[in-house]
Structure 1
């Protein structure tokens, strides 16, 4: 057994900031006190920097197997550690989709390459696109922590209803990408003035909200934990607020890019601004921020979606949807919410660590005695900006590069089970 001693920490503990030392033994937090004089195998000088529980992201894409030119489990988990994350949930949109026990077990073996705690979604339906349900109960037994068709909406209401019933019966979680394909209509950008100016096919808001409204009623009927991925519109916030008031078991997430950007920020045909759901109007963006502040939106999740450079440099029409996010999210959210004075750093960590862990029943998101020592050390005072060469992900497809996006909150070190997985 090895011991580590964190000295001079500004520690987020029990939702309060305290000046403290922390003793770690055999990968667990064992003592928290203003001064700990114990001898340790390793002393970590936090230098009065912020020490928080490792961040939790329930929505990432690590691309392996089948798309390793975009990302691998090793590069994705290294990027996550660089971003301060110690636990993530990987979506099943890999090749092949892990929609059988055999394929899922193979995926779980590949996931052992991860530097951090990597949880695996299983698909709701075969291949994520059919109306035939995957072997839900068997996949849960094989280790699926939740179920999602990720980038595909389930257009058949009966299929969704049956899936909700079965997932509710085993006490698992259904994470939905809400998108009516008929209303999406092969669009590439939000319907509005920017789409008109650039002459691009548009995505209507109702492609999201109409399916969301249907699913909320199905969730009410089945009692399933229904988690809505990356909501993007004012109407979605309103629908979820109403559903929560009605006692429906619904939670939701929002991405940093939907909180920071609107379609007004798209000045030209730059596919680093192309994501699904698309950047919406400024009114929608402000409604999302309001939803975070009033608790309607439960958590921030990155939807980390790395692509190769030649897949994102062909303009909106021909480029892939999605941007990277796991290495930029905490500093960007610290800039948006904490530096502006609208939120405490304690609340931000709640949204990015504690709350997602609570909702998905994970042993993560808190500094607790006799629990795994997953933590991140952050310098909140250092101002910097992102450059392409900074990323450990294979992808650098993001609009948040350069001096226009000066941030604070540099990740200095990340630890999982007391072991260092990232150092600046």
Structure 2
């Protein structure tokens, strides 16, 4: 994206900005790629501005994802930065934190810089690399965190691998406190989870499938929060999926321990009952758990115990997900469905307000990652999503922008459609040809 974008007016939209407690119909003016004004007078709008009529639409800060696998370099059969960026824009995302499990992994300054350069050439969603916490993602030696940060990494994680090395995690939290950077941990005890296919419960027992016990997550969370308390480092745990995890996170937050947590949309809707089909599209990580876990997670998002909803985008090629349930990898395409799933399962059911939903999908993720995003404040980068909240669509993965065509949402009718994704004041995605009302002179 080069040059200065034209001025843009988004008119008559229902503007939601949790940072500034805005929740009303308003006019938004964008000039030089930044938010210029809310409710500008007609005389303050540049004569060459383009207009979007957003009547009956939601206008919000662009979504921010706390961890999507873009797979490039090295695993392009699953996803590329181009296809992942296209998927993110179609889902209303303007910023995406990129996981470190590429090939080679992102554990060097050169690897960080390569991902940034490739994403800049694509010119779509803003991509922010999460670098490895350990060298080679082998959990033996801490990566050179300061050098990785200087190269452009905004945080550290071996996710989706958990961090089994307690001493390394403690040292890293101490070190990152000085850098004021977050560590993202996918909480799981590998020894308890090894070989698991789905949630360990009545359904897995009846199907004869090895389970992933909730205790594997609970014990890892207990360690994580204790180390966060001891070091006062910035720790984000997630995505989480168990009642035990929610209980511990709630208790440590009540003691003012700084920790944040996220959940995936598939864990806010589907339960392990879906695995009775033996369909690998329901083999996701963290796994779909029992209905009691689902209800607890929904309530935790509503009451603030969980801070953010992240996509859990783990794309895997068709030939990989086409295997039987035991041998198929965990994974799903989720960037294009997360917003609509949240609207359908959380907003329209009354569990979340629109403001809380945008807070979980945009404002809080930006705060956790310390990005200049997640707000429509005057002077902020003009990263905006325009949403039609009432349009319904049926999830057909063959139409995804992502190279991955596996989704537990397949066949569901979801509410809410992105009609424009704007990055730096430019409309970089819109499925509606007649969106622009044209220039006014």
Using the size of structure 2 for normalisation, the TM-score is: 0.93
Paired position in structure 1 for 2:185: 176
- Equivalent pair of 1:51/1:378 in contact (CA under 8 Å): yes
> The residue matched to 1:52 in structure 2 has which SS?
strand
Q: Per the alignment, in what secondary structure is the counterpart of residue 141 of structure 2?
A: coil
2:68 to 56, 60, 65: 60
Does residue 84 of structure 1 match 2:92? Answer: yes
Indicate yes or no: 2:136 matched with 1:127. yes
Cα distance in 2, alignment partners of residues 17 and 392 from structure 1: 31
- In the TM superposition, residue 247 of structure 1 has moved relative to its aligned partner by 2.3
Aligned partner of 2:31 in structure 1 is 25
Aligned counterpart for 2:312 among listed residues 297, 303, 320: 303
Whole-Å Cα distance in 1 between the matches of residues 139 and 360 of structure 2?
A: 33
In 2, Cα distance between the equivalents of 1:15 and 1:326? 27
In the alignment, the residues of structure 2 paired with residue 53 and residue 103 of structure 1 have an alpha-carbon distance, to the nearest angstrom, of: 30
Q: Secondary structure at the match of 2:325?
A: helix
Matches within 5 A, 1:16-415: 16-33=22-39, 36-37=42-43, 38=45, 39-112=47-120, 113-402=122-411, 405-415=412-422
Cα distance in 1 for partners of 2:38, 2:162 equals 46
Instruction: Give the superposition deviation at 1:10.
Output: 2.0
Segment drifting more, 413-422 vs 184-193: 184-193
3-state SS in 2 of match to 1:316? coil
Cα deviation, residue 342, structure 1: 2.5
Question: Does the 8 A contact of 1:21 with 1:36 survive in 2?
Answer: no
- State the aligned residue count: 422
- 2:236 and 2:311 mapped to 1: Cα distance? 15
Change (3 A) 1:182 1:389: closer
TM-score of the superposed pair, with normalisation by structure 1: 0.96
1:36 is displaced (CA, Å) by: 3.0
Q: Distance in 1 between matches of 2:23 and 2:132?
A: 40
- Report the alpha carbon displacement of residue 125 of structure 1 after superposing the two structures with TM: 0.2
Give yes or no for contact 1:78–1:421 (8 Å, CA) kept in 2: no
The change in CA–CA distance for 1:305 and 1:66 in structure 2 (over 3 A counts) is same
CA distance in 2, matches of 1:270, 1:35: 55
Q: Alpha-carbon deviations, 1:117-159, whole Å to 9, x = none?
A: 1111001001112311100111111111010110212212111
Distance 1:47 1:246 in 2: 44
Aligned residue for 1:164, secondary structure, equals helix
Secondary structure, aligned partner of 1:348: helix
Is 1:417 the counterpart of 2:424 in the alignment? yes
Structure 2: stretches of 5+ with no match in the other structure? 432-441
Q: Per-residue CA shift, 1:188-241, capped at 9, x if unaligned?
A: 111112212221111111111112111211111111111001101000000111
Of stretches 254-263 and 30-39 in structure 1, the one that deviates more from structure 2 is 30-39
Is contact 1:21–1:35 with CA below 8 Å preserved after alignment?
no
8 Å CA contact 1:383–1:408 kept in 2: the answer is yes
For structure 1, which runs of at least 5 residues remain unmatched after alignment?
Answer: none
Q: In structure 2, the residue corresponding to 1:107 is in which secondary structure? A: helix
**Range with greater deviation from structure 2 (9-18 or 257-266):** 9-18
